[in-house]
Amino acid sequence: MDIFTVATAVTALCAVVTVVYFVSHHLTTQSSSWPKTKQPLAYIRKVMPKKTKLHLPLNSLNDFIPVGEATAVHDVAQFFTVRGNEFSVYSIDWEQDVLVLIRPVDGVDLKAHPFFREAQRRKAAEILCVPLELLQDVASAVADQVAHVQEVFIFMAARCGSTLVTRLVEATSVAQAVSEPDVFSVINMTLLRLKRSYQHGQSPPKHKRPSVLLNEESTIGFLRNVVTLLNYNLLTSDPRHRDVIFYKFKPDVILLADLMARAFPSAKTVFMYRNGLDAFESLTRAFLKNRYLLYVAVLLMVRIGLWGLVSPDPDYMRCFEGDPKFSPVWKHYSGLPFITLWVGVTDCAADLQSKQPDYFFHAVVYYSALVNNKEKTFRLLMKKVGLKWSPEDPGEDKDKIKRALVQDSQAGTIVSAKGRRPGEKWEPDVSPRWVGQWEREYFQEVCRHAGNEIAGPEFLLPDTIV
């Protein structure tokens, strides 16, 4: 073994140790002191957010430490008509059978953060838990006030400029935007676990079969109620009361798209994506802080089958892993779930577009279009979803729009391309590529086993804005 080979092996080993430390340092299991049984009454309780450097699990009550005693809310429908603008939907606690809403500390704008779910978690001061069996009454109490709201749903394959679009929407006077509210992923992953249990001939215990998800009709009603409460909070707390609301979902939520279409037939829909390998590299660079040796270490662990032992990837990143068509891939490979996620999401988008072309999608945007001309692409997107908008229109804040166009939309977050501070400008990455031949072959293997028209990472959907 020559000196170069030894040096490479030692470097890789050190990098592997660093990766293991990175994962173990950031991912810690914290005990919960919340009730574990069904709650008959709604209640309010003050909370203190737990401090974590890297938050990967879906939002839950376990993100908070309860403070003081809970206060029962006997007429939660009436309570919500008075104070609903203070509480935004956060998550669901299936053990207590409650919808969890949070009130942030006074004076905080949750939409100022690139990710709504993260701002909610960090800035929560109080939680409101509403029994799911009372949710219909609460939604009905405020439904008339938000009946005119126009929803726009953004489905995406990650690292594609969707956060930029939400920042631009939020800067306009014609619409507002919410970036990745976690409750939809909570619902999707619960439905997915139930589906897989039944596919394997297993019947989940009764306490793990939420009544609101027992069938498609109850699930559709549940989704309507959740969005109604979100709409009410967003509409009434927005200084301009903008009644067009963009919801950008996490990638896994495309599995809910068909149910969302039935729940909201008048909603507009958008799909955003980019070259799959570019998206994979972008995400990897962000999480590994642009440390190439760490990337080499991760690839080494993937190729020898060890990455799965320490992988920090959350369940929603692996939402397609249980799909039988991908099983041959997982028998021969271990790790890199993002590639399967990209293929699965894009395949779903292609299927939705071909089967329901009038609904999926009103606009399909490729990352290159935003990179080449952000303002022009954004104008076209707005036009395609039926909105007349120009930065020159009366009432538009030109400075705010300009800032949204030039700033790094994810600055200050762990997924920012270079870990920039909030407010710093975005610049394209011109550094040498990390992705090599092995990753390309891996990608092609995933596509091949998917058995669909997604031939490779460069696949384009019809009518894509490029």
- What pLDDT digit, counting tens, does each position of 403-414 carry? 999 999 988 888
Confidence label for 336 from pLDDT (cuts 50, 70 and 90)? confident
- What pLDDT digit, counting tens, does each position of 169-190 carry? 999 999 999 999 999 999 999 9
* Residue 248 located in a structural domain: yes
Strand positions, DSSP E, 328-433: 363-366
| Angle, helices 398-406/162-171, rounded to nearest 10 degrees | 170
pLDDT at 186: 97
The one-letter amino acid at 274: R
Q: Which two tokens stand for residue 229?
A: 């409460």
Mean pLDDT throughout 285-302? 90
* Residue 31 located in a structural domain: no
Listed in sequence order, the residues at least 6 apart from 11 whose beta carbon sits closer than 8 Å to its beta carbon are 293, 296
* Residue 422 located in a structural domain: yes
| CB count in 10 Å sphere of residue 343 | 26
Asked which of 28-42, 137-151, 384-398 is least confident by mean pLDDT, the reply is 28-42
> Is the pLDDT higher at 277 or at 419?
277
Asked which of 138-147, 265-274, 288-297, 412-421 is least confident by mean pLDDT, the reply is 412-421
- What pLDDT digit, counting tens, does each position of 136-164 carry? 999 999 999 999 999 999 999 999 999 99
Mean pLDDT throughout 386-414? 91
* Domain end marker among 217, 242, 264: 264
Please check the confidence at residue 6 and state whether its pLDDT lies above 70. Answer: no
Range of the domain at 162: 42-264
User: Do 336 and 194 have their domain in common?
Assistant: no
Which H or E run contains 96? none
User: Do 308 and 183 have their domain in common?
Assistant: no
Please check the confidence at residue 332 and state whether its pLDDT lies above 80. Answer: no
pLDDT at 11: 47
What is the residue whose two structure tokens read 């059978």? 97
Q: Which two tokens stand for residue 78?
A: 């009436």
User: Do 138 and 51 have their domain in common?
Assistant: yes
Asked which of 90-99, 157-166, 288-297 is least confident by mean pLDDT, the reply is 288-297
Q: How many domains does the chain have?
A: 2
Mean pLDDT of the chain: 89
User: Do 245 and 378 have their domain in common?
Assistant: no
Which contacts of 456-461 are long-range, i.e. CB under 8 A and separated by 24 or more positions? 456/276, 457/275, 457/276, 457/277, 457/278, 457/342, 458/275, 458/276, 459/276, 459/346, 460/366, 461/271, 461/273, 461/346, 461/349, 461/350, 461/353, 461/364
pLDDT at 27: 45
Measured CA angle at 134 (ends 132, 139), to 5 deg: 100
User: Do 370 and 234 have their domain in common?
Assistant: no
User: Do 132 and 223 have their domain in common?
Assistant: yes
User: Do 293 and 160 have their domain in common?
Assistant: no
User: Do 158 and 190 have their domain in common?
Assistant: yes
Return d(Cα 457, Cα 447) in angstroms, integer. Answer: 9
Confidence label for 419 from pLDDT (cuts 50, 70 and 90)? low
User: Do 181 and 220 have their domain in common?
Assistant: yes
* Domain end marker among 206, 230, 264: 264
What is the residue whose two structure tokens read 């990608």? 443
User: Do 282 and 230 have their domain in common?
Assistant: no
- What pLDDT digit, counting tens, does each position of 96-144 carry? 999 999 999 999 999 999 999 999 999 999 999 999 999 999 999 999 9
The distance in angstroms from the start CA to the end CA of the chain is 49
* Residue 73 located in a structural domain: yes
User: Do 384 and 436 have their domain in common?
Assistant: yes
* Residue 255 located in a structural domain: yes
* Residue 24 located in a structural domain: no
* Residue 13 located in a structural domain: no
pLDDT at 5: 43
> Is the pLDDT higher at 95 or at 20?
95
User: Do 64 and 145 have their domain in common?
Assistant: yes
Mean pLDDT throughout 416-425? 74
pLDDT at 98: 98
* Residue 323 located in a structural domain: yes
Contact 238, 123 (CB under 8 A): no
Confidence label for 24 from pLDDT (cuts 50, 70 and 90)? very low
What is the residue whose two structure tokens read 């249990």? 197
Confidence label for 7 from pLDDT (cuts 50, 70 and 90)? very low
**What pairing do the DSSP bridges indicate for beta strands 98-104 and 124-131?**
antiparallel
* Domain end marker among 264, 298, 329: 264
pTM as predicted: 0.93
Please check the confidence at residue 9 and state whether its pLDDT lies above 60. Answer: no
pLDDT at 201: 78
